[in-house]
């Protein structure tokens, strides 16, 4: 019934198996990829004809994680997979970016790539498996895909490159989490997060990954030799030479002059005028010819710009190839935010704000691994006015999610640990102008806003976007590319890091890959640009402020013995609820006894802290405490002086002079200063007020003469009401000290 074809490869200590012919047989190409016990199904379908008027390549990639793959039921009300999560969106982009450039120019048939995680073993990351499955499915589908590609993850642990480590362990145990996709000849895509790796270490990781990708490519080719469908017959011949020549003669000079204008608006107006002039020249032609002319005009623009850069080193705005645009940075830009920065680089601008919150503000993430929590969030917004356009303004799209995650990866490695800085952090980047890399502006502005908020980052981080113009063996690497240079160039290569090393690197290629030589040159040039930008940022703020904003909540952390946790929480949470209600502070306790007390009011934090310490601390003999009278009896008063601890102030210890009734001195609810005199073997505490100054809390000299021994004291021991007078401190809670003499004396002592 099934014509199943299978190939297997021992790769990174596990078996990678690619299978086709058994599942999703009506798709143009379908591959079931198994690595370890993680299984991903990828199906590819392609439209057999092009929609009328279609002038771009409509490739759509969807990656979905089925909760059943990990034996889980989705959380929430609906209990089924719904809209794409952030991880699914980012993985869809990982698959899309390296395969998109490998379709021929002029191919406009719609293609749908759907990858679904069917089984997850908790160890093997499904994103790499999905990338491999997508490449294999496209290769056997018959569509004009100039692949295959391979993909892998690389870690850097103890000075060694490690293939396909678990994603969370890659940085927890090492210094790098790198994903690379490549063809047999060249690298197509790089995505990474690193702990200040050098350029040589990053380049070595990419080359290591490329070698491993070649092994996967070999397996995909073996599968294609068994199961590939007949390749499509398509006519992609370029018969636009005559139109191209006519356009160059008509508007070539106008386009060249427009690209010499340094102002983006003026340049855009001049280019639009040239385009209208070209459109008018083809107004009498057929709609098909008009569409071809419009597309050809874009090629004319690219030729003019690329030739000027390669031949003359002349960029659109007149800069040198390695020159960064003017930078201005301002911190403390907004009065009520916890931290803010306005970062402007040329015609790219970002308003970045940092907000500090408590643990209950952490983001809850429900994924294949189960529930997890993130204490650092970075959100990027790109409104249409930032490029002077009218467009949709609403929920973030894939681009916004991807750019935000890139900036997150750049800043995350330099953040302090939760133990050192127990805040939840959110950085918000609103792009207000864009002509060049707004994601790298987000890195720079976000870093400044973190420092302005008083977040003690390890070192400042800057980012820069690099471009590439490649014609044959001749190439030019561009620093701090403009939007037009990105659009007309061959590479978008973003690098961010500190003065010591790289924290993130992302590369997308529009051609069939780049070589080690080009990447090494780009990394070297990016380092110089990155250091220059750090210098400009330092003019605004060189290091983190020593105090958090007065508008931010304060968090104080204390650690108690784990055996005392139940005392602080109380039965059914009674004690901790009372502390929160009385003090107004928020309190979080973990299983290790770490307590975080937070409030924007320091007095509330101190009150909660004293209360908690009073519960967990043991009283010390001789130490003075502040307490509250909680109960008055005829022989004294009970004082709560350490949270849940009470002690007795005997009436004789209230003042140095005689006190008839405790109520003459104290009342319930009254605050008093007491000294611990004694703690008996049952934990009962005897307190004194008379040896403490009730105004200042300072200890006073004990001026009362010592009591004479009982055997030498005479006279009537009964008080005015017939009860025993004198010292009643023998028993803590009103017990009376009995006379030590026997009830009846011998006859020889009666006289």
Say which residues have a Cβ less than 8 Å from residue 709's Cβ, sequence separation at least 6: none
Euclidean distance between CA atoms 47 and 154, whole angstroms:
36
Instruction: Find which of 443-452, 643-652, 694-703 is predicted with most confidence, using mean pLDDT.
Output: 443-452
Euclidean distance between CA atoms 353 and 350, whole angstroms:
10
**Domains by residue range for the chain, with CATH:** 5-227 (3.30.230.70), 242-312 (1.10.10.400), 327-538 (3.30.230.70), 553-617 (3.30.1370.10), 621-705+718-735 (2.40.50.140)
The region of weakest confidence among 141-150, 298-307, 536-545 is 298-307
Residue 482 has pLDDT above 50, yes or no: yes
Q: Which pLDDT belongs to residue 318?
A: 84
Residue 744 has pLDDT above 70, yes or no: no
Helices 438-452 and 398-411: crossing angle, nearest 10°? Answer: 50
Q: Which pLDDT belongs to residue 55?
A: 78
- Average pLDDT, stretch 735-743? 39
Q: What is the mean pLDDT of the chain?
A: 88
Residue 312 has pLDDT above 60, yes or no: yes
The region of weakest confidence among 55-64, 414-423, 490-499, 507-516 is 507-516
Nearest-5° Cα angle at 505, 500 to 508: 155
Instruction: Find which of 213-217, 291-295, 358-362, 607-611 is predicted with most confidence, using mean pLDDT.
Output: 213-217
pLDDT digits (tens, 9 = 90+) for 507-542: 988 877 677 888 899 999 999 999 999 999 999 999
- Average pLDDT, stretch 326-339? 95
Token pair for 543: 């290091």
Q: Which pLDDT belongs to residue 728?
A: 41
Strands (E) across 148-265 are located at 150-157, 160-163, 176-182, 187-194
Q: Which pLDDT belongs to residue 729?
A: 42
Q: Which pLDDT belongs to residue 438?
A: 95
Instruction: Find which of 260-269, 295-304, 374-383, 601-610 is predicted with most confidence, using mean pLDDT.
Output: 374-383
Q: Which pLDDT belongs to residue 643?
A: 65
- Average pLDDT, stretch 245-261? 84
Residue-wise DSSP of 428-451: EEEEEE-SS-HHHHHHHHHHHHHH
pTM of the model: 0.81
pLDDT digits (tens, 9 = 90+) for 213-239: 999 999 999 999 999 999 998 876 666
Residue 261 has pLDDT above 70, yes or no: yes
3-state SS of 621-656 is CCCEEEEEEEEEECCEEEEEEECCEEEEEEHHHCCC
pLDDT digits (tens, 9 = 90+) for 11-46: 999 999 999 999 999 999 999 999 999 999 999 999
pLDDT digits (tens, 9 = 90+) for 634-688: 999 999 887 667 899 999 999 888 888 999 999 998 999 999 999 888 888 999 9
Euclidean distance between CA atoms 456 and 414, whole angstroms:
9
pLDDT digits (tens, 9 = 90+) for 273-283: 988 888 888 88
How many other C-beta atoms are found inside a 10 Å radius of the C-beta of residue 319? 18
Nearest-5° Cα angle at 504, 502 to 510: 120
- Average pLDDT, stretch 152-171? 92
Q: Please tell me which residue, 535 or 744, carries the higher pLDDT value.
A: 535
pLDDT digits (tens, 9 = 90+) for 413-447: 999 998 889 999 999 999 999 998 999 999 999 99
Q: Which pLDDT belongs to residue 237?
A: 64
Euclidean distance between CA atoms 641 and 663, whole angstroms:
19
Phi-psi region of 716 (alpha: psi -120 to 50; beta: other; left: phi over 0): beta
pLDDT digits (tens, 9 = 90+) for 340-368: 999 999 999 999 999 999 888 899 988 88
Residue 95 has pLDDT above 50, yes or no: yes
Note whether 429 and 393 are within 8 A (CB): no
């Amino acid at each position: 019934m099934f014509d199943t074809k299978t190939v297997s490869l021992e790769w990174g200590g596990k078996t990678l198996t690619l299978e086709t012919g058994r599942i999703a047989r009506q798709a143009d190409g379908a591959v079931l990829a198994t690595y370890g016990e993680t299984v991903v199904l990828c199906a590819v379908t392609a439209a057999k004809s092009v929609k009328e008027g279609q002038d771009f390549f409509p490739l759509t990639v969807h990656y979905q994680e089925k909760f059943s793959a990990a034996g889980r039921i989705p959380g929430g009300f609906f209990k089924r997979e719904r809209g794409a999560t952030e991880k699914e969106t980012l993985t869809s982009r990982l698959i899309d970016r390296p395969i998109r450039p490998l379709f021929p120019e002029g191919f406009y048939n719609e293609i749908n790539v759907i990858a679904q995680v069917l089984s997850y073993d908790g160890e093997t990351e499904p994103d790499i498996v999905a990338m491999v499955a997508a490449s294999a499915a496209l290769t056997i589908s018959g569509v004009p895909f100039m692949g295959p590609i391979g993909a892998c993850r690389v870690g850097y642990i103890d000075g060694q490159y490690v293939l396909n480590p678990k994603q969370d362990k890659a940085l927890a145990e090492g210094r790098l989490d790198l994903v690379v996709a490549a063809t047999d000849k060249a690298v197509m895509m790089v995505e990474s997060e690193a702990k200040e790796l050098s350029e040589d270490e990053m380049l070595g990781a990419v080359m290591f990954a490329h070698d491993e990708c070649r092994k996967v490519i070999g397996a995909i080719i073996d599968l294609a030799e068994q199961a590939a469908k007949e390749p499509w017959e398509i006519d992609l011949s370029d018969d636009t030479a005559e139109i191209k020549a006519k356009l160059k003669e008509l508007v070539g000079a106008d386009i060249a002059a427009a690209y010499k204008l340094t102002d983006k608006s003026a340049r855009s107006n001049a280019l639009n005028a040239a385009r209208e002039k070209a459109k008018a020249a083809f107004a009498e032609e057929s709609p098909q010819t008009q569409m071809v002319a419009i597309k050809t005009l874009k090629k004319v623009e690219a030729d003019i710009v690329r030739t000027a850069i390669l031949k003359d080193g002349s960029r659109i705005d007149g800069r040198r190839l390695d020159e960064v645009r003017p930078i201005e940075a301002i911190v403390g830009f907004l009065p009520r935010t916890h931290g803010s920065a306005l970062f402007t680089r040329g015609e790219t601008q970002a308003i970045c704000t940092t907000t500090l919150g408590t643990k209950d503000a952490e983001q809850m993430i429900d994924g294949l691994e189960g529930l997890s929590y993130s204490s650092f969030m970075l959100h990027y917004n790109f409104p249409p006015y930032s490029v002077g356009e009218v467009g949709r303004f609403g929920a973030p799209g894939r681009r916004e999610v991807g750019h935000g995650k890139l900036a997150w990866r750049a800043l995350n490695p330099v953040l302090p640990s939760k133990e050192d800085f127990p805040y939840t952090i959110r950085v918000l980047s609103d792009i207000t102008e864009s002509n060049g890399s707004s994601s790298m502006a987000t890195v720079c502005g976000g870093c400044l806003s973190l420092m302005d908020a008083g977040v003690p980052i390890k070192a400042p981080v800057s980012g820069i976007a690099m471009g590439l113009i490649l014609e044959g063996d001749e190439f030019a690497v561009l620093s701090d590319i403009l939007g037009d240079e990105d659009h007309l160039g061959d590479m978008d290569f973003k690098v961010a890091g500190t003065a010591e090393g790289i924290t993130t690197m992302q590369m997308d290629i529009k051609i069939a890959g780049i070589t080690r030589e080009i990447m090494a040159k780009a990394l070297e040039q990016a380092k110089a640009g990155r250091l220059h930008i750090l210098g400009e940022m330092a003019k605004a703020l060189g290091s983190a402020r020593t105090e958090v904003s007065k508008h931010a909540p304060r968090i104080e952390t204390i650690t108690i013995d784990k055996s005392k946790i139940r005392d602080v929480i109380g039965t059914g949470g009674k004690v901790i609820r009372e502390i929160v209600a009385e003090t107004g502070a928020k309190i979080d306790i973990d299983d290790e006894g770490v307590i975080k007390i937070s409030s924007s009011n320091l007095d509330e934090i101190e009150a909660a802290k004293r209360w908690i310490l009073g519960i967990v601390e043991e009283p010390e003999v001789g130490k003075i405490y502040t307490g509250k009278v909680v109960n008055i009896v005829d022989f004294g008063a009970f004082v709560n002086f350490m949270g849940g601890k009470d002690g007795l102030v005997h009436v004789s210890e209230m003042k140095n002079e005689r006190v008839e009734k405790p109520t003459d001195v104290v009342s319930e609810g009254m605050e008093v200063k007491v000294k611990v005199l004694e703690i008996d073997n049952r934990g009962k505490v005897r307190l004194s007020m008379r040896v403490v100054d009730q105004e200042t809390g300072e200890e006073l000299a004990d001026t009362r003469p010592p009591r004479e021994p009982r055997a030498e004291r005479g006279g009537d021991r009964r008080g005015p009401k017939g009860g025993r007078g004198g010292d009643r401190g023998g028993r803590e809670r009103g017990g009376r000290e009995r006379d030590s003499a026997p009830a009846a004396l011998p006859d020889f002592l009666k006289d």
